[in-house]
Structure 1
Amino acid sequence: MRTRTATAGEEAMQALSESLSEIRERAAAHEHSGDWNAAMEAFERLFQRGVEERDPFTVAGALRGSARVRRRLECFEEAEEIAELSFEIAQRNGLKGAAAQAVNGLAAIYHVQQDWTRAAQLYAKALDLALDAGDDSTVGHASQNLGIIANIQGRLPEARARYLESIASSVRSGDKVSAMTAYNNLGIVCTDLQEWMEAELYFNRGIEVAEQVGDSGLLAMLHANRAKPLIHVGEFAKARLVLAAAYTAAACIGDRGTLAEVEVSRATIARLHGDFAAAETHLQRAITLATEGDLEREHALALEGIAQLRWDQGRQVEALAQLGRACEIFHFVGSERDAARAEALLTGWKAEEAE
């Protein structure tokens, strides 16, 4: 039996028959799956329909989506122009919430380019606009993004306050994805502040939300991060179980970054128990995973772990060299929080060597 393919005219008629909500759903589905070309075409179609129907809300939203896709494709100049146009259209038509979302999207473009100063300025502007619009969802996103930058730059109390604000706004808006991300980030800050019980509390809450949403990627990350305060307080059996859960979730989706962090944490437990051979094995696995995934930060975390192992083995010269290299990589990738931790350890070791 022969099948007939649709003609160009029929495809055009089909496109015209789609409602705005159907085009939005199609664009969102393509964006979520990472099919950037299909997503771009869908957002362009949404833009055209918005113009045809003289719907500025739809036009502004379509432009935001198109800017996000171009940001993902690293077409940063185009993304900036489109995001700015989305803001202008929203502002001109009195769409305060859409204007706030456009500025937040513009900030994200600078964020991924590690222009922290410009990104923070725009996130702060987005936050002000969102507060004026009563847009709790965007308040949550902008607050969390400001927290991320403060965290990267080592301003932990500020990061903590921003994450708490983000959680409150995300709960009000019902944005579970934003809330669980903020719980994870807040747990990381509390870990860095050595507030172990509070850190575990936030990680646990994030895990509960991630399980409700079914987000395997963030669930794996939350489990991996939860193990760190448990290790610090000596709850090794519990930490091993948590790391096993993290490994299982990460392996299901091929998340090399989280798998590498699991191996580093397993190495820490082995080292603290004096099992240097097992620690070495876990750290070499972490190096392999980081190398395969071209993951600079995770590579540096593994080098930091190797440095700690060499120090405990009495191989101080190697330890200092490995930790120095880890510090360089942390700075290179813009992870100032990690760099500050590693440099504090390096300073302590050098002082100990000088005695």
Structure 2
Amino acid sequence: MNYKDEQNVDEMIENYIKEFLADIHPEIDSYEAAVHALQTLLPQLIDESEHAQRVQILQSSFGQLLDKFSSYLTPAQKVHVELWLGHQLEQLGAWDNALQVFMSVVKECEADESLSHQKAEALRWIGHIQVMKNNWDEASTYYQNSLSCSLEHSDLEGEAHARNALGYYFFEKGKFADASLEWHHALELAEKLKITKLMASFYTNLGTLAIVQGEWEKALAYYGESIPRFEQVGQQRSLAETYHNMAMTYADVERWSEAGNYYEKSYELAKQIGDIRLQAMVKLNRVRLYLAINDLVYAKAFCQQALRVFQKLEDHLGEADTYKYFGIIDTLKENWAAAEKYFDKSIELNEKYQHPLGKAESHVELGLMYKTKNDLQRARDQFQIALSIYHELELENEVEKVKQLLEDSN
């Protein structure tokens, strides 16, 4: 698309929104109907624009709509729209923009006790974004603040959400026992409240934990509980994430056909809802399918596409995982120096951003590279580092696998 085309598209979108807003009359139209209409219109317009324009369109159009309704909205209604905007910006990967919106919501809710649930939600989403930005201490603080807010106001649903978020934090930090405790507690609350979408989310998380612990049948059983619930409540993003998790589970046991089907389902949904990070994750993990059939051209192409997105989002752990796959590809090509460099970059990023599981996986792959080129001492050194990490994480399944690799490298 050249500059003139971009200018024409921008003018067209601007005119559509102006015409839309001109037809909205706050004195007779409900804000709910106006917001719903704009939510319906925006995806059609956003599809015509580049990523940077999408963020601008979202913020500008909703800002104008809020201004138009400002004197007609209750504080709760205004916060509801702002939370929706924050979620959409986060989904587009505009994390700093989303943070500003959620921070603003927290400030607005401070003086109004009746908005404690919305405040807890905003705090939780600030924590989520800090996790994606690899700011672990900040994420933990916001999750704890969200939990405290919910406990203080006896908000059981908010408590369930906050415990789920803390479970995710512990999971990413490799504290799997703590993650399991929080997720089971959250699931009990969701079952008590009979909130279907929460139960589905917590089943998915427990499935993810089961994968890491090497219990793939248990993982699939948890996903089997979550998928129909997500379908029932129309949670498209969560459904896409669960499809992705199922694909990875099938890939772990080399059931490539099922893995491919679920990767495709996940990618299509992620594309529909505009979740660019999830699209990149699906592309990266599909690399395993191409490695299984030794199609290194497609494997490398998917790695390159994923890396561009992760770098744009400053998702450093996504970068680390991508470098690991580049290393595997170069190992298969016997490009030893390039492979070693990629594995070292992956290990460095996982170390820097405190992701022990990813670090251990990269040490294993570097060890396998040395083993393939018959440099057995260096292979054993890498396996030993991975073994120590897996011991600390209490991942007995992985411990046994690495012990076997050490034995085979003697």
For the criterion TM > 0.5, the same-fold answer is: yes
Aligned match of 2:383:
323
Equivalent in the alignment of 1:83:
150
1:228 to 273, 288, 292: 288
What CA distance in whole angstroms lies between the structure 2 residues aligned with 1:146 and 1:137?
14
| Pairing of 1:161-176 with structure 2 (within 5 A) | 161-176=221-236
Partner of 2:81: 25
Aligned residue for 2:340, secondary structure, equals helix
Unaligned runs of 5+ in 2: 1-69, 131-137
Report the alpha carbon displacement of residue 22 of structure 1 after superposing the two structures with TM.
1.3
- Give deviations 1:9-52, integer Å, cap 9, x for gaps: xxxxx89965422122324545744566863552363475463x
1:286 corresponds to which letter in structure 2?
Answer: S
* Change in 2 beyond 3 A, CA 1:305/1:145: same
d(CA) in 2 for partners of 1:116, 1:294: 16
1:184: Cα distance to partner? 1.5
Is 1:259–1:286's contact at 8 Å kept on the other side of the alignment?
yes
Number of the residue aligned with 2:49: none
Aligned counterpart, 2:242: 182
Q: Cα RMSD between the aligned structures?
A: 3.2
| AA aligned opposite 2:185 | L
Other-structure match for 1:124? 187
* 1:89-117 CA-partner distances (Å, limit 9, x unpaired): 4xxxxxxxxx4453242243244243134
1:112 — aligned with what? 169
2:219 to 132, 155, 159: 159
Q: Match for 1:45 among 101, 108, 125?
A: 108
Matching residue of 1:310: 370
Cα displacement string for residues 33-75 of structure 1 (whole angstroms, at most 9, x for unaligned residues): 4566863552363475463xxxxxx544444444555786323
Between the aligned partners of 1:309 and 1:264, the Cα distance in structure 2 is 11
Asked whether the 8 Å contact 1:28–1:39 carries over to 2, the reply is no
Unaligned runs of 5+ residues in structure 1 are: 1-13, 52-57, 90-98
> Are 1:224 and 1:242, in contact at CA under 8 Å, matched by a contact in 2?
yes
TM-score (norm 1): 0.76
The 8 Å contact of residues 350 and 359 in structure 2, kept in 1 or not, is answered as yes
The change in CA–CA distance for 1:166 and 1:331 in structure 2 (over 3 A counts) is: farther
Partners of 1:331 and 1:215 lie apart in 2 by 35
Number of equivalenced pairs = 318
Alpha carbons 1:64, 1:83 under 8 Å: kept: no
Match of 1:340 among 369, 393, 397: 397
Which residue matches 2:341?
281
Label 1:290 to 1:78 Cα distance change in 2 as closer, same or farther (>3 A): closer
